[in-house]
Amino acid sequence: MGTSRASARSVVFAPLDPHSRAETVVRRLTDAITFGLLTDAEQLPSETDLAAQFGVSRVTVREALVALRQQNLVETRRGRGGGSFVRAPTAAADRSLRSRLSELSLPNLRDTADHYAAVAGAAARLAAQRADADDILRIEEVDADVAGPLHRMERAYHLEVAAVAQSARLAREEIRFAGELGTLLWSPILQTADSTYDPHAEHRAITAAIAAGDGDLARRLTEEHIETAVERLVTLHLTLVEP
Amino acid sequence: MGQTITSETTALAARVTTLAEAAFATADGLRRRAEDLFTGGRPASADLAVLRPWVTEALGGLINGAGVITVPLADGRPGLEWWMGSPAQRSRLTLDLDPASDTFVDVGRQPWYSVPRDTGRRHVTGPYVDYVCAEQYALTFTVPVTDHGTFAGIAGADVFVGDFERALRPALRAVGTPVALVNTHGRVVAGSTAHHLAGSLIRDAHIRTALLTALPAVLPGGVRLTPCGTLPLAVLTWP
Ligand SMILES: [Zn+2]
C-alpha cells in the first residue's frame, strides 16, 4: 500500500501538457486532497517547485492556489515556517470524490460500469452504422479539445457519439452516467500499470472504426476503453479503502 | 400506375411542406416580436422576458419547443427565452453558458444557431439528438433575428420526429410503394419500411448526389426524388 500510495503521489506532481491551465492544477490537487493522497496539514511544495513540477508558470500556480484557498482546501501562512498547507475536507465535504469513492461498493461499481460500457459500446456500434462525414468531423472536434479537464472531454465525446448514433435514449444515459461516474472515472490522478495510457488515442481509434463503418470494432474498442478506466478506479478504491 | 405513385408522392411532399412551413411561421412570428425589442436600441438579456406570452402560446400541436436565443445583449449576456413541452405542462429552458462548466453549451456550435447566423437564411436542423434542450430526437426550424441588418440571434420551433412521423403517416401509407422522407444529407426522417427508419442514413451515392441538387429526378433502380418545396427535405420512392 505504501508503494502504491507513493507512486500515486508521484502522478499528482507529473508535468502537465502545455494546454493545461490553472484549472487543471486545481483539479489535480483537489482530487489528490479529496482522495487523501495529500493529507491534512501537509505542506505543499513552494510555488517555484510546484511550477517546475507541473511545468507551468508561477502565475498559474498562484492562480490555482487562490482557487484552492477559496475552496478551503489549502491554507497559506506567512512568515517563518510559512507556506501552503493542505486542509483536508471534513465530514461536511460529502460531495468529495473520496467519500463518493468509498461509498461505492465494488459490486455496485462493477454493475454501474458494466451498464455504462453497454451503453457507450452500443452507441459506438450504432454510430458506425449511421455516421456521415460531417458527423465524424463533429466527433473529432470534441476529442481535439484538450483545454479542459479529462472528465469534461470524456462526457462530450461519448455524448456526441450517442448523438451520431441518432439515439436520444443513449444520449440521456450518457448524460446520466457523466453526472454519476464521470469525475471519478476520469480523475487525472488515477493510474494504470501502463504508462502510455492515453484516452485521446483510444478515442481516435474508436472514431476511426466509426468512420470506417466497423460497428463491431467501434463497440469492442469502446468497451475496452471503459474497462481500462474502471480498472484504474478499482485499483485506487482498493488502495484507499481500509479493510 | 406510375401516374398514381406520382400524385400520392406529390401529396406527401405537399403535406411535409405544409407542416414545416407552419413550424417556420411560428418561428417567424417570434422573430418579429424579438426584432421589435431592438428598434429602440440594444435591449438587455432580461428584456427578453416580455416575449414569454408569445413563446408559450407557440407551444402545442406539433410544436414542442419554441423561443428566441440572442447574441450577448446590452448587459453582456445572451438573451434566452425558450420554452419546452405542451401548453398544459411546460418548462423554461436554461442553458449553462459558463465556458468553464462541465455542462457548458456552446450555442455557436449548434447548427440550429450557426447556419442562420452564417447564411442569413432559415434552416431545418435534423433529424438530430437534441441533447442541449429536450434530450429528444427532433427537427428544429430556425430563422435569423436581425438588429438593423446585423445578426442578433435566432427564433425557432422544435418538432419531435415521432410527432412529425405520426402526422405524416396517412400520407406515407397512401404512397403504396416503399417511401422515405429524408434530409439533404440522406438522413431518414420517416419511412414506410424497416430499412428506412428515422435516423438511418441513405448511403447510395446516386441518391446522395441527387439530394444535394434538390431537383426532381428519377435515379438508377427506379428511385424517384421529389423535393418538398424549397425545404432541405425530399421524398424518395422505390419501385
Ligand atoms: Zn472516452
Q: pLDDT at position A241, please?
A: 63
Q: pLDDT at position B232, please?
A: 94
Output the CA–CA distances (angstroms, integers) from residue B38 to B48, B72, B146, in the order listed.
Answer: 10, 13, 9
Range of the domain at B59: 18-161
Residues of chain A whose beta carbon is less than 8 angstroms from a beta carbon of chain B are: 23, 129-132, 134, 148-149, 151-152, 155, 159, 162-163, 165-168, 171-172, 175, 178, 182
In which order are the strands placed within the sheet that holds B233-237? Answer: B188-191, B179-183, B233-237, B223-227, B217-219
What domain count does chain A have?
Answer: 2
B74/A contact by beta carbon, under 8 A:
no
**Model confidence pLDDT, tens digit, residues A113-163:** 999 999 999 999 999 999 999 999 999 998 887 777 788 889 999 999 999
Chain A residues with CB under 8 Å of B137 CB are: 166-168
Name the H helices within chain B.
2-37, 52-58, 111-119, 161-175, 205-213
B146/A contact by beta carbon, under 8 A:
no
Are A189 and A120 found together in one domain? yes
Q: pLDDT at position A16, please?
A: 55
**Model confidence pLDDT, tens digit, residues B100-135:** 777 888 899 899 999 999 999 999 999 999 998 888
Q: How far apart are alpha carbons A107 and A125 in whole angstroms?
A: 27
In this complex, how many residue pairs, one in chain A and one in chain B, have their CB atoms less than 8 Å apart?
50
**Model confidence pLDDT, tens digit, residues B29-86:** 999 999 999 998 999 999 999 999 999 999 999 999 999 999 999 999 999 999 999 9
Q: Closest Cα partner for B220 from B211, B230, B207?
A: B207
Does residue B3 register a pLDDT over 60? no
What are the grid coordinates assigned to B40, written together? 429602440
Q: Closest Cα partner for A162 from A173, A152, A148?
A: A173
Output the CA–CA distances (angstroms, integers) from residue A92 to A72, A95, A105, A199, B123, in the order listed.
Answer: 12, 8, 21, 33, 50
Domain contains A45: yes
Are A30 and A113 found together in one domain? no
Are A151 and A33 found together in one domain? no
Range of the domain at A108: 104-241
Name the H helices within chain A.
2-12, 22-34, 47-54, 58-70, 97-103, 106-130, 133-143, 150-164, 168-177, 183-185, 199-211, 215-240
* Dihedral class, residue B233 (left if φ above 0, else alpha if ψ from -120 to 50, else beta): beta
ipTM of the complex: 0.89
Are A140 and A193 found together in one domain? yes
Higher-confidence position of B197 and A108:
B197
What are the grid coordinates assigned to B206, written together? 446516386
Are A136 and A236 found together in one domain? yes
**Model confidence pLDDT, tens digit, residues A55-88:** 788 888 888 888 888 777 888 888 777 888 888 7
Domain contains A77: yes
Asked which of A36, A61, A89 is the last residue of a domain, the reply is A89
Q: pLDDT at position A107, please?
A: 86
Domain contains B121: yes
Mean pLDDT of A210-231: 96
Mean pLDDT of B205-225: 94
Q: pLDDT at position A89, please?
A: 59
Closest CA–CA distance from residue B220 to any residue of chain A (Å): 22
Asked which of A30, A57, A89 is the last residue of a domain, the reply is A89
Going from the Cα of A156 to the center of ligand 1, the distance in angstroms, rounded, reads: 9
Domain contains B191: no
Q: How far apart are alpha carbons A2 and B105 in whole angstroms?
A: 42
Q: pLDDT at position B29, please?
A: 98
Q: Closest Cα partner for B236 from B197, B188, B195?
A: B188
Are A112 and A184 found together in one domain? yes
**Model confidence pLDDT, tens digit, residues A15-55:** 555 445 687 788 778 777 766 667 777 888 888 888 887 77
Beta pairing class for B90-92 and B78-85 = antiparallel
What are the grid coordinates assigned to B23, written together? 413550424
Domain contains B84: yes
What domain count does chain B have?
Answer: 1
Are A108 and A183 found together in one domain? yes
Going from the Cα of A139 to the center of ligand 1, the distance in angstroms, rounded, reads: 11
Domain contains B51: yes
Going from the Cα of A151 to the center of ligand 1, the distance in angstroms, rounded, reads: 9
The conformation of residue A173, written as its DSSP 8-state character, comes to: H
Domain contains A111: yes
Burial string for A80-118 (b: 16+ CB within 10 Å, else e) reads eeeebebbbbeeebeebbbeebeebeeeebeebbeebbe
Mean pLDDT of B140-166: 97
* Dihedral class, residue A136 (left if φ above 0, else alpha if ψ from -120 to 50, else beta): alpha
Are A60 and A164 found together in one domain? no
Does residue A105 register a pLDDT over 60? yes
Q: How far apart are alpha carbons A55 and A32 in whole angstroms?
A: 18
At A230, the amino acid letter reads V
Q: Closest Cα partner for B168 from B189, B185, B187, B186?
A: B189
- Reported as half-sphere exposure (CB side, CA atoms, 13 A), residue B106 has a value of 10
Going from the Cα of A110 to the center of ligand 1, the distance in angstroms, rounded, reads: 17
Domain contains A23: yes
Domain contains B54: yes
Q: How far apart are alpha carbons B30 and B36 in whole angstroms?
A: 10
Average pLDDT, chain B: 94
pTM: predicted TM-score of the whole model, two decimal places:
0.78
Are A83 and A147 found together in one domain? no
Helix, strand or coil, per DSSP, at residue B180:
strand
Higher-confidence position of A13 and B169:
B169
Q: pLDDT at position A18, please?
A: 44
Q: What percent of chain A has pLDDT over 70?
A: 78
In which order are the strands placed within the sheet that holds B78-85? Answer: B90-92, B78-85, B63-72, B150-160, B136-147, B123-130
Domain contains B33: yes
Closest CA–CA distance from residue B201 to any residue of chain A (Å): 6
Determine the residue among A166, A185, A186 to mutate to test chain B binding: the one whose Cβ has the most chain B Cβ atoms within 10 Å: A166
Q: pLDDT at position A29, please?
A: 81
Q: pLDDT at position A9, please?
A: 57
Q: pLDDT at position B126, please?
A: 94
CATH of the domain at A109: 1.20.120.530
Q: How far apart are alpha carbons B55 and A167 in whole angstroms?
A: 28
CATH of the domain at A23: 1.10.10.10
Higher-confidence position of A203 and A40:
A203
Beta pairing class for B179-183 and B188-191 = antiparallel
Inter-chain residue contact B135 with A175, CB threshold 8 Å? yes
Q: How far apart are alpha carbons A179 and B101 in whole angstroms?
A: 13
Domain contains A94: no
Q: pLDDT at position A152, please?
A: 85
Q: Could you list which residues have their CB under 5 Å from ion ligand 1?
A: A 154
Going from the Cα of B155 to the center of ligand 1, the distance in angstroms, rounded, reads: 34
Are A70 and A139 found together in one domain? no
Asked which of A65, A89, A113 is the last residue of a domain, the reply is A89
Inter-chain residue contact B129 with A171, CB threshold 8 Å? yes
Q: How far apart are alpha carbons B129 and B137 in whole angstroms?
A: 5
Are A69 and A111 found together in one domain? no
CATH of the domain at B82: 3.30.450.20
Q: pLDDT at position A129, please?
A: 96
| Torsion A116-A119-A121-A127 (CA) sign | negative
Are A83 and A111 found together in one domain? no
Inter-chain residue contact B135 with A155, CB threshold 8 Å? no
Q: pLDDT at position A191, please?
A: 56
Domain contains A95: no
Residue B94 buriedness (CB in 10 A; 0-12 / 13-18 / 19+): exposed
What are the grid coordinates assigned to A121, written together? 459500446
**Cβ-based neighbour number of residue A35 at 10 Å:** 22
pLDDT band at A92 (very low <50, low <70, confident <90, very high): very low
Residues 6+ apart with CB under 8 A from A37: A5, A8, A9, A12, A189
